[in-house]
């Protein structure tokens, strides 16, 4: 009985300890970084946006790399003619034309929410096309 009374304060202190928190840990689906500490934005990805609804799918790599832009009115989508790609810091840019109109995509490494689901995305996407700016989120194609 006496031993239990001596151990009681320690047990209560342990019970009051804060549980470990993973709040500072990056989300599991955040992109890995390569040896140069630059983020890895994959060649293949899916970007999507709401209001208006749109999707952009990137497949392949190198000279076989393609982008297909689709909307509810054009479910099969239209290929974007890629003219230039660049990466700087945590942003990847792809420029080209879609239906003869200049088209620019910027993917940035930052947590993103589509506003309609509980899904978190590792990239924010911004498209400039035809005088409009479309905003959305993106994820690697294999997710």
User: Which CATH number is 58's domain given?
Assistant: 2.40.128
Range of the domain at 56: 45-140
- Give the residue-averaged pLDDT of 73-102: 95
- Give the residue-averaged pLDDT of 36-48: 77
Please indicate, yes or no, if residue 24 is contained in any of the structural domains: no
- Give the residue-averaged pLDDT of 52-79: 92
Q: Which residue has the higher pLDDT, 32 or 98?
A: 98
46 φ, ψ (degrees, to nearest 5): -125, 125
C-alpha distances out from residue 128 to 81, 101, 103, 135, Å:
14, 10, 6, 9
Please indicate, yes or no, if residue 36 is contained in any of the structural domains: no
What whole-number percentage of the chain has pLDDT above 90? 57
Ranges 6-10, 51-55, 71-75: which has the least confidence: 6-10
Please indicate, yes or no, if residue 13 is contained in any of the structural domains: no
Please indicate, yes or no, if residue 101 is contained in any of the structural domains: yes
Please indicate, yes or no, if residue 118 is contained in any of the structural domains: yes
Please indicate, yes or no, if residue 106 is contained in any of the structural domains: yes
H helix intervals, 48-113: none
User: Residue 34 and residue 43: Cα distance in Å, rounded?
Assistant: 14
The domain tally of the chain equals: 1
Please indicate, yes or no, if residue 58 is contained in any of the structural domains: yes
- Give the residue-averaged pLDDT of 122-134: 96
DSSP 43: S
User: Residue 126 and residue 131: Cα distance in Å, rounded?
Assistant: 13
Please indicate, yes or no, if residue 130 is contained in any of the structural domains: yes
Q: What is residue 142's predicted lDDT score, i.e. its pLDDT?
A: 81
């Amino acid at each position: 009985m006496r031993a239990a009374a001596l151990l009681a304060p320690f047990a209560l202190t342990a019970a009051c300890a804060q549980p470990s928190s993973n709040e500072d840990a990056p989300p599991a689906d955040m992109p890995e970084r390569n040896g140069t500490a630059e983020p890895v934005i994959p060649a293949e990805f899916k970007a999507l946006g709401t209001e208006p609804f749109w999707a952009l799918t990137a497949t392949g790599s190198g000279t076989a790399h393609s982008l297909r832009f689709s909307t509810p009115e054009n479910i099969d989508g239209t290929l974007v003619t890629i003219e230039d790609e660049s990466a700087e810091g945590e942003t990847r840019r792809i420029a080209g034309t879609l239906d003869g109109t200049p088209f620019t995509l910027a993917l940035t490494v930052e947590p993103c929410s589509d506003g309609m689901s509980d899904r978190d995305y590792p990239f924010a996407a911004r498209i400039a096309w035809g005088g409009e700016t479309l905003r959305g989120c993106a994820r690697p194609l294999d997710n």
